[in-house]
Amino acid sequence: MSVDDLIIEYTTALKHASEGAWGTWPVVLDHAGVRCTPQMARFNNAERALLSLAGRPDLPEPLAAFIAADADKGCPQCWVSSNKTRNHSECQVKIRRYFDVRAALVEYGESLSRGLSLDVGKLRQ
């Protein structure tokens, strides 16, 4: 798969995982052997594929930014409890940045799937 194909798959998998992944059956195993729904397995596998591209110099800016934000998204305790308000202030900033960068990647992925070209400079944080 091309980098663009991986981004489109991630965007699609995230959308499907967000549309009810928690209450569906059957339970399957993802790439790491984690039991989850088919939608979450697809998402986990797509995310793993994107993150495996780290270090490549030819990545589009939204993907490079996402990989960087994923690598620095706060301490594990704050990340697991990211829906709580009592996190380290530095971690709150990193977690917020992660979700902002992920949203920009999804916007970029959606533009790829529609065959449009976005101004990548507009997506930079």
Q: 49 near 9, Cβ under 8 Å?
A: yes
Express each pLDDT in 17-52 by its tens digit. 887 655 556 677 777 777 778 888 889 999 999 999
- pLDDT, residue 84, reads 61
| Structure token pair of residue 3 | 């980098």
- pLDDT, residue 41, reads 85
Q: Is the peptide bond before 26 cis (omega within 30 degrees of 0)?
A: yes
The three-class DSSP label of residue 29 is: strand
| Structure token pair of residue 121 | 């400079």
Q: Is the pLDDT of residue 91 over 60?
A: yes
What is the pTM for the complete model shown?
0.80
Express each pLDDT in 50-78 by its tens digit. 999 999 999 999 999 999 999 998 888 88
> Span 93-121, mean pLDDT?
84
122 CB-near residues (< 8 Å, 6+ apart): none
